[in-house]
Amino acid sequence: MPNLEGLVHTPSSSQLETARSLDVAGKSEEALAAFQGFLLAHPDSTEGWVDYAGLLLVLNRLAEANTACETALQQDPQCYGALSYLAGVRMNQGQLEESEALFQKAIHLEPQRLAARLMLSDCLIRKGDPTQARALIDGVLEQDPGHAIATDKRSTLMALLGDWQGLRKSMERQVARYSGAEAEYVASHLDLMFGDMPKGWQRFESRLSIPNRPQSPHTIGKPRWKGESLVGKTLLLTWEQGYGDTLMFLRFAPLAKAMGGTILLEVQPPLAELAATCPGIDQVLVPGQAIPPFDVHASLLSLPAIFSTSLDSIPAEIPYLGIPEQVPERQQITEVMGKTSDQIRVGLCWTGSYQYARDAKRSLPSSTLAPLSALPGVAWYNLQFNGTDVAPLPGIVNLGPLLNGFANTACALSHMDLVITADTVIAHLAGALGIPTLLLLSFIPDWRWMLGRDDSPWYPTLRLYRQHAPGDWDSVIRHVVEDLTRPPAPQA
């Protein structure tokens, strides 16, 4: 979404003010109607056309936004807002050179205004020039050191440029300046990325103080567990965030059980049967079920802090999950896999959930996978949960229709000799089951995969293949092929 800050003019009428108020309140359809009514009565209002264009741009109605911008520019060819929004339209249409030129024209007209420079940084990133974008944002921050949007953009650019040390120092300055739970929580991810786990886990707990954080209704007002003995007590563990997080942090349940007492687990419904295979859990529950009486509670994601987890003390004994007794498609999966008992079975997943905010960054175009066809003696299996994309690999078998649910997926993974995945949920599940797995990572990794290493302290059977430049999946796949075709080292 373009940054529209600073492009709105002073209201000239109550009707226009009403349209703007509706826009700010997020009532887009009502705001559109109000703008249209105003412009019907005041077709010569340049500022009305500019504001209308801004809303249309946010809604990605590019053709209409283009018309509104051009109408404003016919009335005032030097209109900063109209030029900036038209540049935003061109950027979203992929016309990056024209977009940059329009942004530069707007900046030249009013160099003290920041909005066009902030939007231009997005254009430069799309053009593959994060260095110039960084210089632009640094200039904005020289002019306005406390500008929140520019500060966020600089953090993004530091990550794109691989300046992780600079990003961490910048984050520490933000924590010192703003000293809030959200800043602490963001900083914790960098601590953990650098392997500074004692500090990171303590800061990670700041998420519990973020206002309006989702919380199990059963735990409200109940005491949190802090690691004391559980002898004669019952602990309720609760899930938090995504499936991958739950799969990853279930490893701590046996440590909690070792403290004595009864361990209850409330978990996302699709993971219930799988979670029940984890040692140390006495009963698995799902939201909506009656919860037995308990004494204390803890989020699964708080267990690393409770156990003072360091790099050396991560519980990485695998497998810590198993195949549930009830696997609806077990027979069909077994029959399909039985046809390739004399081949190396490799499961492949090249995209993740479209609902994940960064999925476009972590997913691969299927065409990128073509070099894998050079691997001899492989039976390929498509582990995609959904989608119709087909990888260009010989004889690849689509297991997608049989992977409805985690029990089925775990069963299918247990038949694989190797899993290659860009989807981290598959990586977490395969890792927890102890299956050899190659995880394909985008240039900006999640904190749990850390920096500069090709292994994971969380999963002994996991190997990491990282992009060396944003968007460069070709070299990642080449690296995979090289490693899988390299002759084994001679025995000493």
Other Cβ atoms within 10 Å of 292 Cβ, number: 12
- Cβ atoms of residues 268 and 329 within 8 Å: no
Q: Strand, helix or coil at 462?
A: strand
What one-character-per-residue DSSP string does 88-99 give?
A: HHHHHTT-HHHH
129 CB burial (10 A radius; 0-12, 13-18, 19+): middle
DSSP 8-state secondary structure symbol assigned to residue 18: H
Question: Cα–Cα distances in Å, from 432 out to 55, 129, 225, 310, 436?
Answer: 47, 39, 25, 19, 10
- Per-residue pLDDT at 13: 64
- Per-residue pLDDT at 428: 97
Distance CA 51, CA 16 (A): 9
With vertex at residue 438, the alpha carbon angle to CA 410 and CA 363, rounded to the nearest 5 degrees, is 90
Other Cβ atoms within 10 Å of 200 Cβ, number: 21
In 3D space, the residue among 239, 221, 240, 243 whose CA is nearest the CA of residue 294 turns out to be 221
- Per-residue pLDDT at 370: 94
Going along the chain from its start, the domains and CATH numbers come out as: 14-161 (1.25.40.10), 219-313 (3.40.50), 330-485 (3.40.50.2000)
- Cβ atoms of residues 164 and 193 within 8 Å: yes
**Which residue stretches of the chain have pLDDT < 50?**
1-2, 4-12, 354-360
Q: For residue 433, what are its two tokens?
A: 């089951």
Distance CA 132, CA 145 (A): 19
Strand 418-421 and strand 344-349: the pairing is: parallel
Distance CA 206, CA 302 (A): 10
Q: At 396, phi and psi to the nearest 5?
A: -60, 135
* Segment 319-356, tens digit of pLDDT: 999 999 999 999 999 999 988 888 999 999 998 554 44
Model confidence, pTM:
0.79
- Per-residue pLDDT at 7: 47
- Per-residue pLDDT at 361: 60
In 3D space, the residue among 342, 358, 359, 337 whose CA is nearest the CA of residue 350 turns out to be 359
- Per-residue pLDDT at 430: 97
- Per-residue pLDDT at 358: 43
Distance CA 203, CA 184 (A): 6
- Per-residue pLDDT at 387: 62
